Amino acid sequence: MIRTARNHLSDLKKQLFGQSTARALFSIIVFVLIWELGSKSKDWFGFVTPWLGHVPAPTDVIKVWIGLLTDSSYWQSWVMSFLRVLAGFVTAMVLGIPFGLAIAVSRISYGIIFPSFEVLRPIPPLAWVPAAIIFWPTQELSIIFVTFLGAFYTIVINVLGGARAIDLRYFQVAESMGASKWDVFRRIILPGTLPSIMVGAAVGMGLTWEVVVAAEMISGGGGAVGSSGGGLGFFIWNSYVGGSYEQIIVGMISIGIAGFISSAGLRKLGELCTPWLRKR
Amino acid sequence: MNAAPGQLPRGAIRIEDAVKVYDPDGAAILAVDHCTLNIPAGEICMIVGPSGCGKTTLLNAIAGFHSLSSGAIYLDDQLLCGPGKPQADPGPERIVVFQNGALFPWKTNLENVAFGPIMQGSLSRVEAHDKARAMMADAGLEGVEHNYPGEISSGMRRRVEIVRALMNDPKVLLLDEPYRALDSLTKSVMHEALLEIYYKTKVTIFFITHDLEEAIFLGHRVVIMTSRPCKPKKLLEVDIPHPRNYSVLTTKRFRELMDETLEAVHEEALKAFSLGEKEG
């Protein structure tokens, strides 16, 4: 145990101070530097850098951001978006996994359900926004519905593909050894599909963030009035309308961070669920 | 549970006039052509034939994965498949060990080995794990019980798979080129390990290969099949006494048997080659 803990520590050290870390830092520092110089070019050099000259400088963005850190409505936006993503994503998983498995294992259900599914699938989730606002009683539900759609199709397709790709021989082995239909489902199909479920979930999670932000912008932030209940998408939109360009950037970066946190969490969860795929 | 040394051998297979016609898109392809073969209980019967000749079709019919078009197969004088019952029911008394291995990647080696008895309900989970642990130790597989199959060498995997098969107390082991992907050094180790298992269990072995040396080294009898359609072309009684070990390979009798069969095998291989058979 001590040995492995020590190994982990030295791995961590290598990761933190290794060459790739240095390169990553270099990349980010140069990027921010060019951005800063470009944005401040009018004050410092007397000319406006094309494109970059109209973007708020990183130092100004950070100043505004620090101001926002104590602003509860900013954090409220985070919470709102996270809740919507979570609601849409979890619903997509809860409905999508059984749905995908059902059409994977039964030729009849596949034949009946899949064609309709394929007709609906190419419709971009955002095209559903107006219809969703009409169909669902509250704006909140409309946004969650559209977010759900973003992940649902991807998860279903991955589950279906994953279940179908399971090696026929696993079924033959299980059948020879006396496994019942339920055993085959629980012990072969389910674990056999799990890696694909995780891939679908990762892609789906990315899509829910894309969709939730756009949906929040379009629907005006959902039922709650004002910027506090609108989520990060509405936060950006509101900043745009209010003319605070620094806040737009803060909102953009916040969404990036939020998406990163969700993906990282999901990846960790995926690793826990599929221990046999751990790096060896 | 397994047949102790001296116990009466069981697992005689009788194949009578077996015919298998595949019918992809109306183009009838004769895979097995009036094949008759008697395998006494406790024999190691090696089936040698060119790639794609239909050996695996025969194995699948015994295992119950595919049907026969006509003819019959008996196990210990009980009908497995025949007139009125074209496809045998897969069962734990006939276990297949596949070409590239079919251990469940999501189960640890121990869970894989314990799978059969748990599925059949013949042992409780705890009992099955205890027995699996004992049998793995017996086969020199101590220390990899809690690894996943992906974490051990392919030679080890093959051994785990044979132990998994033996856990079902089978009457017949059906091996479909189990050592094909292994290098020749690993192969020689696997051969002796298989013989060791055989001497303990006296299980009937139906072993498909296209490695003539392997066939003569392991088998009581070598059946050389014709290229498609598949039927026995030549039966070779290997009169080298068991128990054997690798020193047999250098004996004069072994070379003679090799010479005696090589021509027949080569002839069929040429035929298969000119037919453009795919490997596998």
For residue range A125-139, list pLDDT tens digits in order.
989 988 988 898 888
Of A177, A191, A275, the CB nearest to B119: A177
Q: What is the mean pLDDT of residues A199-223?
A: 84
- The residue behind tokens 């559903």 is A128
CB contact under 8 A, A172 and B116: no
From CA B74, how far away is CA B52, in angstroms rounded?
A: 24
Closest-CA distance, B27 to chain A, in angstroms, reads 24
Q: Which residue, chain included where needed, has tokens 């994977």?
A: A104
- Nearest residue, CB atoms, B106 vs list A175, A179, A276: A276
Contact of A104 with A163, CB cutoff 8 Å: yes
Report the DSSP pairing between strands B78-81 and B70-75.
Answer: antiparallel
pLDDT at B1: 41
Residue A222 confidence (pLDDT): 52
Q: What is the mean pLDDT of residues A8-36?
A: 83
A173/B102 CB distance under 8 A = yes
Residue B59 φ/ψ, nearest 5 degrees: -60, -45
pLDDT digits (tens, 9 = 90+) for B28-64: 788 888 889 999 998 999 998 877 778 888 999 999 9
The rounded distance, in Å, linking the Cα atoms of A102 and A91 is: 17
At residue A251 the predicted structure's pLDDT band, cuts being 50, 70 and 90, is very high
Q: Each residue of A81-102: b (16+ CB within 10 Å) or e?
A: bbebbebbbebbbeebbebbbb
What φ, ψ does residue B87 adopt, rounded to 5°?
-120, 130
Instruction: Give me the DSSP letters along chain B.
Output: -PPPTTSPP---EEEEEEEEEE-GGG--EEEEEEEEEEE-TT-EEEEE--TTSSHHHHHHHHHTSSB-SEEEEEETTEEEEBTTB-BPPP-TTEEEE-TT----TTS-HHHHHHHHHHHHTSS-HHHHHHHHHHHHHHTT-TT-TTS-GGGS-HHHHHHHHHHHHHTT--SEEEEESTTTTS-HHHHHHHHHHHHHHHHHH--EEEEEES-HHHHHHH-SEEEEEPSSSB-EEEEEE--SPSS--GGGGGSHHHHHHHHHHHHHHHHHHHHHHHHTPPP-
Indicate if the pLDDT at residue A14 is higher than 90: no
Contacts of residue A145, defined as CB under 8 A and 6 or more positions apart, other chains included, come to A88, A128, A132, A135, A136
- DSSP class of A71: -
- Residue A48: pLDDT above 90? no
Percent of chain B whose predicted confidence (pLDDT) is above 70? 95
Please name the residue that has the structure tokens 């145990």. Answer: A1
What percent of chain A clears pLDDT 70, i.e. is strictly above it?
93
Bridge partners, residue B221, by sequence: B45, B237
Whether residue B95 and residue A275 make contact (CB cut-off 8 A), yes or no, is: no
User: Looking at beta carbons, which residues of chain A come within 8 Å of B102?
Assistant: 167, 169-170, 172-173
- pLDDT of residue B13 exceeding 50, the answer is yes
* Cβ <8 Å between B104 and A191: yes
Q: What are phi and psi of B21, to 5 degrees?
A: -115, 120
Give dist(CA B39, CA A206) in Å, integer: 59
From chain B, pick out residues whose CB is under 8 angstroms from the CB of A275: 148
Question: Tens of pLDDT along B170-193?
Answer: 999 999 988 887 888 888 888 988
Rounded distance between C-alpha atoms, residue B135 and residue B140, angstroms: 9
**Res A2 pLDDT > 70:** no
Residue written as tokens 């020749």?
A: B184
- At B280, is the pLDDT very low, low, confident or very high (cuts 50, 70, 90)? very low
A10 versus B114: the higher-pLDDT residue is: B114
Report the distance separating Cα B195 and Cα B212, nearest Å. Answer: 17
What is the spatial distance between Cα B171 and Cα B167, in angstroms, rounded to a whole number? Answer: 11
**Averaged pLDDT for residues A36-63:** 84
Tell me the C-alpha distance between A4 and B126, whole Å.
30
Across the range B87-106, mean pLDDT stands at 90
| Residue among B23, B21, B51 at smallest CA distance from B34 | B21
CB B265 within 8 A of CB B89: no
Task: Name the closest residue on chain A to residue B113, using Cα atoms.
Answer: A177
Question: Which pLDDT value is given to residue A186?
Answer: 93
Give the tokens for residue B150: 């992906």
Distance CA A189, CA A166 (A): 7
Does B7 score more than 60 pLDDT?
Answer: no
Place of tokens 């794609």: B52
Two tokens, residue A97: 């996994």
The predicted pLDDT at position B139 comes to: 85
Domains of chain A: 1-55 (no CATH), 57-277 (1.10.3720.10)
By the 8 A CB rule, do A165 and A196 touch? yes
How high is the pLDDT of residue B278?
Answer: 58
**How high is the ipTM of this complex?**
0.87
**pLDDT tens track for B126-180:** 999 999 999 999 888 889 999 999 999 888 898 899 999 999 999 999 999 888 8
Q: Among partner residues A170, A177, A180, which is closest to B116 by beta-carbon distance?
A: A177
At residue A215, the pLDDT reads 86
Topology (CATH) of B13-93+169-275: Rossmann fold (3.40.50)
pLDDT at position B35 is 87
**B-chain residue closest to A183, CA distance:** B119
Alpha carbon A72 to its chain's center: 24
Quickly state the pLDDT bin for B10 (edges 50, 70, 90).
confident
Residue B279 has pLDDT above 60, yes or no: no
Angle of helix B125-138 relative to helix B109-120, nearest 10 degrees?
Answer: 130
Least Cα distance to A88 among A14, A150, A147 occurs for: A147
**pLDDT one-digit tens code per residue, A72-97:** 888 988 998 999 999 999 999 999 99
- Of all residues in chain A, what percent carry a pLDDT higher than 90? 51
Q: Provide the residue type at A89 as one letter.
A: F
Segment A6-27 mean pLDDT: 78
Q: A226-230: long-range contacts (C-beta < 8 A, 24 or more apart)?
A: A226/A73, A227/A73, A227/A77, A228/A72, A228/A73, A228/A76, A228/A77, A229/A76, A229/A80, A230/A77, A230/A80
Q: What is the pLDDT of residues A142-198, one digit of tens each?
A: 889 999 999 999 999 999 999 999 999 999 999 999 999 999 999 999 999 999 999
Residue A227 has a pLDDT of 45
Give me the residues paired with residue B207 across strands. Answer: B46, B175
Confidence of residue B200 (pLDDT cuts 50, 70, 90): confident
pLDDT tens digit sequence for B209-255: 988 889 999 999 999 888 878 778 888 888 888 888 888 888 888 88
Residue with tokens 């929040």: A216
Cβ contact (<8 Å) for A178 and B91? yes
More confident residue, A116 or B210: A116
For chain B, domain boundaries:
13-93+169-275
pLDDT for A111 beyond 80: yes
